């Protein structure tokens, strides 16, 4: 899958706030994503991110 900075993605599990759309805000060995609803930021490894990614909403 192709994704870059500011891409909106959907993860397999929704966030605790109920939203399921995330914006990629940092890329490298780790990927940082921000919830589009409550703006909580989480960081995970690229491997973990790709495992949890469901689909790309808006690139």
CA pair distance 9, 1, nearest whole angstrom: 11
Residue 3 in any domain: the answer is no
The string over 6-35, giving b where at least 16 C-beta atoms fall within 10 Å of a residue's C-beta and e elsewhere, is ebebebeeebeeeebbbbbeeeeeebbbbb
Answer whether residue 46 is part of any domain.
yes
Cα–Cα distance list, 15 to 2, 3, 27, 28 (Å): 22, 20, 20, 23
Q: State which residues form the domain around 16.
A: 8-58
pTM of the model: 0.90
- How many domains, in total, are found in the chain? 1
Give dist(CA 45, CA 59) in Å, integer.
Answer: 20
Interval 9-56: pLDDT, tens:
999 999 999 999 999 999 999 999 999 999 999 999 999 999 999 999
**Does residue 36 form part of some domain?**
yes
């Amino acid at each position: 899958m192709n994704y870059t900075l500011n891409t909106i993605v959907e993860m397999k599990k929704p966030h605790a706030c109920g939203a399921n759309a995330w914006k990629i805000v940092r890329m490298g060995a780790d990927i940082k994503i921000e919830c589009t609803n409550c703006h909580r930021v989480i960081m995970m490894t690229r491997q973990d991110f790709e495992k949890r990614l469901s689909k790309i909403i808006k690139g």
